[in-house]
Structure 1
Amino acid sequence: MITRIIACSFLLLCAGLAQGQSLIPAPPQLAAKSYLLLDANTGQVLVEHEAGTQVPPASLTKMMTAYIVSEEILKGSVKESDMVRISEKAWRKGGSKMFVKVGDQVPVIDLMRGVIIQSGNDASIALAEHVSGSEEVFAEVMNQQAELLGMQNSHFVNATGWPADGHVTTARDLGVLARALIMDHPEHYDIYSEKYFSYSGINQPNRNRLLWRDSSVDGIKTGHTEEAGYCLVASAMKRGMRLIAIVVGTDSDEKRASETQKLMAYGFRYYQTHKVYGQGEELQTERVWGGKEPSVGIAVDKDVFVTIPRGGEDGIKADLIVDGELEAPIQKGQPVGKVVVTLDGETVADVKAVAAEDVDRAGFFKRMWDSVKRFVMGFFS
């Protein structure tokens, strides 16, 4: 099949082009074992250090616990209003707590807040038992979900992050999970920005200090054990750009917050997210053979974002690659090729190109006439 490449456009992305290309300094060096900064919309990594090194995740584990519960709610197998009976195992678990009691009946959504805001080990085990029958089986589900998300170097043993042999992840995998939390379950993401949650008369603050320091920060989760150190996965939104910062293995609560702020400040200062095309936006039209209509609009199947340095790009090039000649019938949304976006010769986005509308098959005589034209054009080409 012949593939055709059509240059769609050159897009000037910054108003300050005339000022010349901005210089980007080296990223900050953090006092942490590993760290990562990425654009949530594009997934592009802006800064990384030892991001593929396996580390104990501590309570960052609860991001996966909450993600799985959100998945179960979305599928309808669990409801936010379901009442969960608290087991003795959940009640007895040490560390941070929601302070539920044995035999309590607690709504799933309250336990979600107990996990996310209060980092409750008791709430985490209660939800694991409710979803899977036991924490051990839930851990298997966590590993299956990690594989589905592409978390290639993670392995979970429990739902809490309690220290255990073989319970590990990486900063890079945590970035994958953080993006999934934000993109897949916006209906629950607001919980990560809540500063307090009260249960049974006990009011506990969110341990993420950045929620008080920076109004652009709206999540996500802290973690701490002696082995893991102080850890933070944070996300913030400014000027249409959402960044995710993962900082693992600092030596204090204050340090994990301040080091994360350094990453965020660097990303927002020197980079921006640019929307190249919107989902369904028509790029151009293409000839359709044997159709009631002579052509069909070509669109992208999802929003196309790219991460670019601020204030210095000459532009980006978008190429529409069509998979051969198009023949009717064509259905709206049918893949017909792809759009490849490059910046300075490097591919920064690659998305499906789809038909923007239906094109029905033409009648017999129109199809025959198109066949003749195709034959003649092919003969002389």
Structure 2
Amino acid sequence: MAHVFSTTGLRRWGAFLLLAVCLAGVGISADRVSAQGASTEYVTKAKYAVLMDVETGAVLYQYNADQMVAPASMSKLMTLTMVFKALKDGKIKLDTEFLMSEYAWRTGGAPSRTSAMMVPLNTRTKVSELLRGVIVESGNDASIALAEGLAGSEAAFAQAMEEEARLIGLKKSTFRNATGLFNAEHLMTVRELALLGRYIVRTYPEFYPMFAEKNFNYRTHKFINRNPLLFQGIGADGMKTGHIKESGYGVVGSVVQNNRRLIAVVTGLQTDAERREESRRIFEWGFRAFGEFKLYEAGEIIGKAKVWGGDSLNVSLMGAGELTVVLPKYPANQKLRAEIIYSGPLKAPINKGDQIATLLVRSSNDAFAEVPLYAAHDVKPVGMIWRGLHSLYFMATRYLPI
């Protein structure tokens, strides 16, 4: 394999592989895909949009995906994440009861004239009911009651939301409340909304079925789930809508077809009807245009990366199980070009299972997918003399910047 590099910051190394594969009727998986070639075939009315494969994290379509926008009630997914975490950690139970304070009632309840579960003032309500009030009815009163019950105040809860967001990989999102009601500093990107949806599906499968519930009855109120995708017969089973005048209509949706799950986020739409139509369209296109294709078996060595200061000058690379990618199904008989990318040479010690490289796969129409690669074995550090010899070797072979 030829080694190549580009000097942008750290030196980037790549080993190229040509993969002649037939993609007729099948597709591919990755840890990030930007289907540039395929994206030109799809146009959305949404101001911001993203389509993601849940199994692999591959991004199949994106439009203004990294621009910050007021997420409205779609940010309630982060509120729900906090509650799910508390339940899973045993800090609360589904039958734990939280109080509907005057602040929660006035800010998000009946007097607020916003979406509300209509919990009476000073009433104690079970967490299981409050969760459904948030998921089905998008109740702002229920969201604030949960926030106060867990953190003492909505402000403290919002700070905890942001801290947890960073821990789970949301690098840009900023939270100022539990509801998504407009605040100029309460912002997310559609990419991070999709990542959050994916995180919920994968981390909290025991609670996720709540998102598929079409109805919720509370006292004399009969609520119908606001998610339009649940009623379109396309395999939708979640997640959350949002609407405020500052950012328009939006939805985070999750759909399963043929054992494959996609998550889409569209927002910035002008009407509820546009939201319903655009969310359906992006899923139909995604399932029709993309698929998975296996490149390597589980445990198969894909390539090697150079190592400095270790008991081996190379470390073998493999995927986390079968290595698949998500790319456009068409045109048929595409040739894939693959490149192993890492900043190197890598420094010992390296432990088996460490993520140390990425496999970048490009298709004939310039769609591409990135899949993480892992160390197939340990590389132990060596002493100073050997490290000096390694430095001389790498400089002599132009593997170290001078």
TM-score bin (small chain): 0.7 to 0.9
Corresponding residue for residue 350 of structure 1: 371
Corresponding residue for residue 40 of structure 1: 54
Q: Using the alignment, how far apart are the partners of 1:204 and 1:350 within structure 2?
A: 42
Paired residue for 2:105, among 91, 110, 113? 91
Corresponding residue for residue 155 of structure 1: 174
Corresponding residue for residue 262 of structure 1: 281
Q: Does residue 198 of structure 2 align to residue 184 of structure 1?
A: no
Task: Give yes or no for contact 1:304–1:349 (8 Å, CA) kept in 2.
Answer: no
Residue 49 of structure 1 and its aligned partner are, at CA, apart by: 1.9
String of CA shifts for 1:239-283, please: whole Å, max 9, x gaps.
Answer: 3332221111111111111011221122111111345567xx343
String of CA shifts for 1:324-380, please: whole Å, max 9, x gaps.
Answer: 9xxxxxx9x755976846344997343344669x9xxxxxxxxxxxxxxxxxxxxxx
String of CA shifts for 1:59-116, please: whole Å, max 9, x gaps.
Answer: 1110110011112222222222322222222222221111212332322122111111
Corresponding residue for residue 140 of structure 1: 159
Corresponding residue for residue 216 of structure 1: 235
Task: Give yes or no for contact 1:28–1:262 (8 Å, CA) kept in 2.
Answer: no
Name stretches of at least 5 consecutive residues in structure 1 with no aligned partner.
18-22, 286-296, 325-330, 359-381
Corresponding residue for residue 236 of structure 1: 255
Corresponding residue for residue 32 of structure 2: none
Secondary structure of residue in 2 paired with 1:255: helix
Cα 1:161–1:6 change in 2 (3 A) is closer
Task: Give yes or no for contact 1:300–1:339 (8 Å, CA) kept in 2.
Answer: no
String of CA shifts for 1:199-227, please: whole Å, max 9, x gaps.
Answer: 11311001111111123111111111111
Paired residue for 2:43, among 8, 29, 45? 29
Q: Using the alignment, how far apart are the partners of 1:15 and 1:28 within structure 2?
A: 20
Q: Using the alignment, how far apart are the partners of 2:24 and 2:42 within structure 1?
A: 27
Q: Does residue 71 of structure 2 align to residue 57 of structure 1?
A: yes
Task: Give yes or no for contact 2:70–2:184 (8 Å, CA) kept in 1.
Answer: no
Cα 1:144–1:304 change in 2 (3 A) is farther
Task: Give yes or no for contact 1:34–1:247 (8 Å, CA) kept in 2.
Answer: yes
Residue 12 of structure 1 and its aligned partner are, at CA, apart by: 4.3
Corresponding residue for residue 283 of structure 1: 300
Task: Give yes or no for contact 1:111–1:124 (8 Å, CA) kept in 2.
Answer: yes
String of CA shifts for 1:38-65, please: whole Å, max 9, x gaps.
Answer: 2222222222222222211111110110
Task: Give yes or no for contact 1:270–1:310 (8 Å, CA) kept in 2.
Answer: yes
Corresponding residue for residue 80 of structure 1: 94
Residue 136 of structure 1 and its aligned partner are, at CA, apart by: 0.4
Task: Give yes or no for contact 2:338–2:362 (8 Å, CA) kept in 1.
Answer: no
Cα 1:111–1:266 change in 2 (3 A) is same
Q: Using the alignment, how far apart are the partners of 1:224 and 1:313 within structure 2?
A: 44
TM normalised by structure 2 equals: 0.71
Paired residue for 1:119, among 138, 150, 166? 138
Residue 318 of structure 1 and its aligned partner are, at CA, apart by: 7.8
Task: Give yes or no for contact 2:317–2:373 (8 Å, CA) kept in 1.
Answer: no
**How many positions carry a matched residue from both structures?**
339
Task: Give yes or no for contact 2:360–2:371 (8 Å, CA) kept in 1.
Answer: yes
Q: Which has the higher contact order (CA 8 A, sep 6+)?
A: 2
Q: CA RMSD in A?
A: 3.8
Cα 1:315–1:102 change in 2 (3 A) is same
Residue 117 of structure 1 and its aligned partner are, at CA, apart by: 1.0
TM normalised by structure 1 equals: 0.75
Q: Using the alignment, how far apart are the partners of 2:295 and 2:97 within structure 1?
A: 45
Corresponding residue for residue 329 of structure 2: 310
Task: Give yes or no for contact 2:147–2:154 (8 Å, CA) kept in 1.
Answer: yes
Name stretches of at least 5 consecutive residues in structure 2 with no aligned partner.
4-13, 27-36, 303-315, 346-350, 379-402
Cα 1:132–1:13 change in 2 (3 A) is farther
Identity within the alignment, %: 33
